[in-house]
Amino acid sequence: MGNIDIYIDDIEKEYNIEQEKIKKIIEITLKKCIEIENLRKDIIINVEIVGDDRIKEINNSTRNIDKVTDVLSFPMYEKKDFEEKLEEIYVENNIPTILGDIVIDILQVERQAEEYNTGIIRELSYMIVHSFYHLMGEDHMEEEDKKVMRQKEENVLKELGELCK
C-alpha cells in the first residue's frame, strides 16, 4: 500500500478543535480508502480545514455559488484523463502522485453531525471518503454513477467500523 501525505493548516486557534485529533481521523480514513482501492503508490492529498467564510469564498470563486458548503474537492485530473493516470498510480515507483485537494468546512460538518445525529467523527470521515472518490474520478451527477459512488463510500465507512459509529 502506498503512503499518504496529509497537509492541514493550523486550525486549532481559529475553530477551537483539536488539530491532532482531526488530523488522525483524516489520516485513518484516507489510509482505509487507499487500502480498499489497493493503491500501491505513494500519493499526496492536500486537506484544508476552514470555516464558513473561507469555504463560501472558495465555492464562489471556483463554482460561482455564493453559499456555504460542507466540502469541496479539486481533483488533479479530469475524469476523462483519470483512467490513464490510474494505471500510473497502480505502478510502484518513487514519485508520489498528487490526487488533489480537499477543503472541508469544519463548522458545517459540526452542524450536519448534529442535524443527522451522526457525530462529528462519522460526518468528517464521510466528507473525506466522499472527496477521496471525487479525487479518484468518481462523480454523482448521473443516478447510476451516484449509486456506484455511494456504495464505495458505504464500504469504506463500514470498514472503518467503530470510528464511524
DSSP-assigned states of every residue in 8-62: ----HHHH---HHHHHHHHHHHHHHHHHHTT--S-EEEEEEEE-HHHHHHHHHHH
pLDDT single digits (tens) 49-77:
888 999 999 999 999 999 999 999 999 88
Strand partners, 100: 45, 75
Cβ atoms of residues 46 and 70 within 8 Å:
no
Average pLDDT, the chain: 84
Q: What is the CATH number of the domain that holds 82?
A: 3.40.390.30
pLDDT for position 111? 94
Q: Which three cell numbers stand for residue 137?
A: 474520478
Q: Where in the sequence is the domain holding 24, given as residue range(s)?
A: 4-164
pLDDT single digits (tens) 74-104:
998 877 777 677 666 666 667 777 889 999 9
The total domain count for the chain is: 1
Whole-structure pTM value? 0.86
Say if strands 43-50 and 97-105 run parallel, antiparallel, or are unpaired. parallel
